[in-house]
Structure 1
């Protein structure tokens, strides 16, 4: 059974481990969206601000993600404050087992309860992930430049 909860300080080292493992895996596939190694201070800040969540299966932490407030995305200015689902990371050996769907379902339910809109992005070249988001109820808004690559932005409302 999947459990999702806010991350605690005790989760810090496992969260960093997951993020670093996923980043290395992405980089091996030529996806450079995240920098390795992760900045500990960034993770601590996410913990302190209650943005960081963890996903557990049978008490084993397999993934992590963030949900935080936003006013704009790239050049989009939003009419009202929305939420941003980001930093979705599932240990590589557990990817493709519907765990990502548990994260998107949780986040969609979370924003629906708040009467907010949810946004997320991914590297524009990741067709598999873009299809996954579309299948999970997200509307594709387009591709936008970010540093030396493009990101695809999605919306759920």
Structure 2
């Protein structure tokens, strides 16, 4: 199995590439989080409210860019990490030819919230990458103040805001 991390243990959890058997669980968690965010008036991941978005989740699993964090059989968190720029990344960052990794859809299951798992997971990713001397890039909705502050606390440097169809997106990167 191609794995871009030096180890697969994170705290007491295991990190592994998601498989097709994991797609429904990953999508349902992301969908539920998107619903909660919408109820709070936060426009993050609204596309995940449409059940057709499961096809995008499935495509990322097939590409091998979706990772899951599990506690025995329980899904704790998920994230996508890739060297390749997606169309979305190119729209936000412009076409780049560098050593950056792109992080998307980092989410922690609600059962595991308020335990600093998201922050610790970001640090674990940086520390355990099998490549060195690169960048991790990510984005979030500019109006999601909690998430913007979360990335700043994790040491990600704000780069700029890009407007896509009337929605501002904050771009962050961090050297590892």
Q: Specify which of 24, 27, 30 is matched with residue 19 of structure 1.
A: 30
- 8 Å Cα contact 2:24/2:54 also seen in 1: no
* Secondary structure of the corresponding residue to residue 118 of structure 1: strand
Does 72-81 or 96-105 show the bigger shift?
A: 72-81
Residue 94 (1) aligns with residue 112 (2): yes
Provide, for residues 73-111 of structure 1, a one-character-per-residue CA deviation record: whole Å limited to 9, x for no partner: 525443514211001122234323211123312332355
- Check conservation: 1:25, 1:92, Cα contact below 8 A: no
Please state if 1:85 is matched with 2:103.
yes
Bigger proportion of residues as strand: 1
Corresponding residue number in structure 1 for 2:9: none
The answer to whether structure 1 residue 139 and structure 2 residue 157 are counterparts is yes
SS at 2:131 equivalent = helix
Q: Are the equivalent residues in 1 in contact too, given 2:81–2:102 (CA < 8 A)? A: yes
Say what the alpha-carbon RMSD is for the aligned residues.
2.1
TM-score by length of 1: 0.86
Moved more, 145-154 or 64-73: 64-73
Structure 2 unaligned segments of length 5 or more: list them: 1-11
- Tell me the equivalent position of 1:119: 137
SS at match of 1:80: coil
Q: Is residue 2:149 matched to residue 1:103?
A: no
Identify the residue that residue 37 of structure 1 maps to in structure 2: 50
Structure-2 separation of matches of 1:113 and 1:119: 15
- Unaligned residue ranges in structure 1 (runs of 5+): none
The answer to whether the 8 A contact 1:143-1:153 is kept is yes
